[in-house]
Structure 1
Amino acid sequence: MAGERQKFSFDTVFDAAGDVTYAAPRPKRMYTPDEVEQIRLAAHAEGERTALASIAAQQQVALAGVAHACRQALPTLAAVAHEHRVGSANLALACARGIAGAALDRFPEAPLQAALASLAQEIEAAPRLLIAAAPELAERLQSLLDDTASNLGYAGAIQVKAEAELPRHAFTLDFGDGQAAFDPEAAAARVTAALTAALAAEGLHAEPLIPGAQPEPEG
């Protein structure tokens, strides 16, 4: 501020006897080589401390950025992982359908033989066994079933009837006291539903389930 008085500072103060009681330090103008080396080392150490502090601060900023990027990426990674699982499940279902279809084309009577073997105790006392099958399957079953029934010890009569409304490779068994049925399309649908439920359960416990990403039944 204009007109403000400034205090005068004395470089040297004397007492009443004329002795110096205070002398302001004067900048040193001459240094020995050892002093120069000490000053250089001190300056180097101070510069190193300052640089390390700056580096540590930069590292903290960088780590915070990495953590933020990871938090942003996790939902995307979860979606990618879920999409991969769903795609793998669909591929497995498609392969299984292809293999099962080829096996049924090659051995269409195999499921019926397995069903008879599994139900041997239930049908052994039945006087009659009625089998309804898709027409292309019914044509080749009668002689085969006679041999299968003989091997199982079934002495009852076996009647095969073609049912046009049954899907390909499907059949039903009626042995008086019970019934059994096989429909490959329905079986494939049940497998797909079970796999979809398993993916949904995993999604609920591990990662959020992605809506609309369920395995789609093969047409």
Structure 2
Amino acid sequence: MTDGFRKFDFDREFAPDGRILREGDTFKRVYTEDEMQMVAEQAAEAARQVAEIEAQEAAAEAAGQVVHQVAGLLGRLQAESEAMRQDAARLALASARIIAGAALEQYGEETLKDCITEALADLRSEPRVAVRVNPSMSDALAEILEGEAAQHGLEGALIVRADADVPRTDCVLEWRSGAIERTTADIESRIEQAVKNWLAQPREGDADITPDQAAMGGQASA
């Protein structure tokens, strides 16, 4: 009796160097050196891209934090700058009041004479003009204004009266149909208004505004 032959499956495959590439239906993948190098390069490139993305995200986050901090700092600087501007204005106002008061006190007689003389130019048609001043100023002004009245056609029509209720640096002019007064309080009010006008101007234009423009509300002269 003849035994049946069992077909031998050549299912084992060898590489040229003797390594087993296939054992039956199971394959064993063996990488060459070039393939290993390529895989390593691909892995390195993937890692580099991930690191670059993470670095960009970190940089963007850091930049956002810097912008936020700078914005906060600029806000504080602006507030501090405005506070300093207000303080400077208050100091200027206080100084101007002191200087104006000292000037009026020292040159009160001269400033009163100039004020009254300027008003007399518009009162030539009045038959009588009365000037009320502080008693400490009445005698000196009466002598000075007598000549001024004659030059304005008011000789004998101008009367200087001493009034203890009138501050030393103030004066009141009265005539038949009206009256005007020059007071220290009015001068201080105009100084204060000039400072307010300056504060109301945009900061960029502060350096271009003259004191005269500030006193007129910041309007540039033509």
The 8 Å contact of residues 127 and 157 in structure 1, kept in 2 or not, is answered as yes
Structure 1 residue 188 displacement after superposition: 0.9
Report the counterpart of residue 52 of structure 2 in structure 1: 52
The 8 Å contact of residues 127 and 156 in structure 1, kept in 2 or not, is answered as no
| 1:103 paired to 2:103 | yes
The 8 Å contact of residues 131 and 173 in structure 1, kept in 2 or not, is answered as yes
Unmatched 5+ stretches in structure 1: 1-11, 13-21, 203-219
CA distance in 2, matches of 1:40, 1:139: 111
Letter in 1 for 2:192: T
- Larger RCO: 1 or 2 (CA < 8 Å, sep 6+): 1
The 8 Å contact of residues 133 and 160 in structure 1, kept in 2 or not, is answered as yes
Structure 1 residue 131 displacement after superposition: 0.8
Report the counterpart of residue 124 of structure 1 in structure 2: 124
CA distance in 1, matches of 2:150, 2:110: 16
Identity rate of aligned residues, in percent?
A: 25
The 8 Å contact of residues 96 and 191 in structure 2, kept in 1 or not, is answered as no
CA distance in 2, matches of 1:132, 1:150: 19
Report the counterpart of residue 183 of structure 2 in structure 1: 183
- For normalisation by structure 2, the TM-score amounts to 0.63
- For normalisation by structure 1, the TM-score amounts to 0.63
Structure 1 residue 115 displacement after superposition: 2.7
CA distance in 2, matches of 1:193, 1:112: 22
Letter in 1 for 2:188: A
Structure 1 residue 51 displacement after superposition: 3.5
Q: Which residue of 27, 33, 57 maps to 1:30?
A: 33
CA offsets 1:82-106 (integer angstroms, 9 cap, x no match): 3212111111112211221232123
The 8 Å contact of residues 113 and 148 in structure 1, kept in 2 or not, is answered as no
Report which of the two structures shows the higher radius of gyration computed on alpha carbons. Answer: 2
CA distance in 2, matches of 1:140, 1:27: 123
Secondary structure in 1 matching 2:114: helix
Alignment of 1:118-197 (within 5 A): 118-192=118-192, 195-196=195-196
Q: Is 184-193 or 22-31 further displaced after alignment?
A: 22-31
The 8 Å contact of residues 129 and 156 in structure 1, kept in 2 or not, is answered as no
The CA RMSD measured in Å over matched residues stands at 3.6
CA distance in 1, matches of 2:40, 2:139: 105
The 8 Å contact of residues 131 and 171 in structure 1, kept in 2 or not, is answered as yes
